[in-house]
């Protein structure tokens, strides 16, 4: 059964989508069969993987969720797109925006996505879920079915403040919905080491959480080449294979395999 990892933060612009794409391809490069799921109604992950017109897709995550809600029999592989770099993608489009309203009145609305994940889990070593920048029902669904959460953080003051709120939300969700949810780690993204304030924020977060939460030692550097990947439909490994961003995601992918093999400790 595959490991399910949610890539999350309650803030936008912190590299969740590029992290989901890069780690998905990075794990695939290690011989791990990997599915990435776009659970963000802005569908940035889908576009960055080369689907320039997602609204023309006949099947997306919204379709699958609706099929689960209406109790239709589904082939769990329907709608999955096979990317040229080996990773599989369950895409999203604008139809996902209306799913919030569909889920809201349902009993067990927080665990609808889990029913789909349970169907595809036997087919993959890893399933990564890219979440939106709010703790909406889709994000709660992602965390409700995840084994662990990786939190992407840019080293900025407001991001550091928001981290505490996110960790409290995850702790509450663990108590009420998913007691097995672990914190896979905090991953610093868009890091510019030339700025003194960057080091101060990283040190502050490390001091506050380093003894309780795994913090990835590899940081994702700020890079124009990395920002370009969303327009190319290619991962950083193809677009800039010799760059520092590709090297960092390669290292983190290997670390994730090691951590999952050892078991990830929960945070109180």
pLDDT tens digits, one per residue of 73-85 = 889 999 999 999 9
Map residue 204 onto helix, strand or coil: helix
Number of helical (H) and strand (E) elements in the chain, helices listed first: 11, 7
The string of pLDDT tens digits covering residues 170-193 is 999 999 999 999 999 999 999 998
Domain ranges of the chain: 3-262
- Which contiguous run of DSSP H or E holds residue 90? strand 88-90
CATH architecture for residues 3-262: 3-Layer(aba) Sandwich (3.40)
- Burial code (b: 16+ CB inside 10 Å, e: under 16) for 170-204 equals beebbeebbeebbbbbbbbbbbeeeeeebeebbee
**pLDDT at position 45:** 97
Of all residues in the chain, what percent carry a pLDDT higher than 90? 82
pLDDT in tens, 223-264: 998 889 988 999 999 999 999 999 999 999 999 999 887 655
CB 92 within 8 A of CB 45: yes
For residues 129-146, b (16+ Cβ closer than 10 Å) or e, as one string? Answer: bbbbbebbbbbbbbbbbb
| Beta pairing partners, 130 | 7, 38
User: Per the structure block, which two tokens stand in for 90?
Assistant: 């369950």
How many angstroms separate the Cα of 95 from the Cα of each of 14, 65, 202? 24, 11, 38
Whether residue 265 is predicted with pLDDT greater than 80 in this model: the reply is no
pLDDT of 189-210, one tens digit each? 999 988 888 999 999 999 999 9
What is the chain's mean pLDDT, rounded? 93
Question: Is the pLDDT at 158 greater than 90, yes or no?
Answer: no
More confident residue, 24 or 12: 24
């Amino acid at each position: 059964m595959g490991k399910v990892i949610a890539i999350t933060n309650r803030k936008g612009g912190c590299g969740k989508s590029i992290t989901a794409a890069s780690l998905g391809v990075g794990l695939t490069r290690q011989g791990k069969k990997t599915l990435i799921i776009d659970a963000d109604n802005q569908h940035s992950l889908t576009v960055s993987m080369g689907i320039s017109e997602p609204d023309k897709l006949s099947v997306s995550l919204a379709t699958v969720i609706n099929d689960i809600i209406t109790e239709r029999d589904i082939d769990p592989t329907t709608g999955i797109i096979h990317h040229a770099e080996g990773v599989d993608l369950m895409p999203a489009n604008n139809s996902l925006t209306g799913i919030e309203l569909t889920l809201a009145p349902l009993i067990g609305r927080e665990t609808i996505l889990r029913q789909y994940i349970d169907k595809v889990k036997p087919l993959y070593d890893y399933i990564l879920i890219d979440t939106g920048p709010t703790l909406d029902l889709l994000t709660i669904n992602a965390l409700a079915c995840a084994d662990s959460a990786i939190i992407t953080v840019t080293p900025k003051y407001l991001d550091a403040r928001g981290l505490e709120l996110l960790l409290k939300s995850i702790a509450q969700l663990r108590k009420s919905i998913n007691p097995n949810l672990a914190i896979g780690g905090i991953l610093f993204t868009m890091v510019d080491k030339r700025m003194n304030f960057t080091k101060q924020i990283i040190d502050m977060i490390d001091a506050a959480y380093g003894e309780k939460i795994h913090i990835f030692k590899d940081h994702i550097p700020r890079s124009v080449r990395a920002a370009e990947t969303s327009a190319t439909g290619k991962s950083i490994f193809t677009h800039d294979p010799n760059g520092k961003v590709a090297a960092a995601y390669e290292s983190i992918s290997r670390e994730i395999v090691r951590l999952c093999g050892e078991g990830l400790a929960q945070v109180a």
